[in-house]
Amino acid sequence: MLAWLDEAGAAYAAQCCDTPRMVTVRMGETLFKKPSRPGHLIKIYGEVVRVGTTSVTINLEARRHSVYNGTQVLACTSSLVFVRVDGDGEAIPLSDKVRAKYNKKD
């Protein structure tokens, strides 16, 4: 499950930040709410919580989906931080467009 969260989180972070190069810097507390077994269909949903100069923090929920009745049960939650990197693996700033999109003042 942790590997799935990391992979899904990286893909979501890359999509939100308009860049293919995002690396995991931190996996926060992961809470396992319900068991998941082989054969269960797992859906992972993300939400951007914070965007910094080079990083994005996202919350993820993994839900166990029933193909029989369409219901979903929360399996686990986690918070992850990803950083944008260049070809050498050094942190580089996210675009102003991305930062403006997620750092709107209400």
Give the chain's length: 106
pLDDT tens for the 106 residues of the chain, in order: 999 999 999 999 999 999 999 999 999 999 999 998 888 899 999 999 999 999 999 999 999 998 889 899 999 999 999 999 999 999 999 999 999 999 876 5
Two tokens, residue 101 = 């999109």
- Looking only at the bridges linking them, the beta strands covering 41-51 and 22-32 are unpaired
Locate the domains of the chain by residue range.
2-102
Whole-number Å distance between alpha carbons of 36 and 69: 17
Whole-number Å distance between alpha carbons of 76 and 61: 6
Burial of 57-90, coded b for 16+ CB within 10 Å and e otherwise, reads bbbbbbbbeeeeeeeeeebbbbbbbbbbbeeeee
CATH 3.40.50.410 fits 2-102, yes or no: no
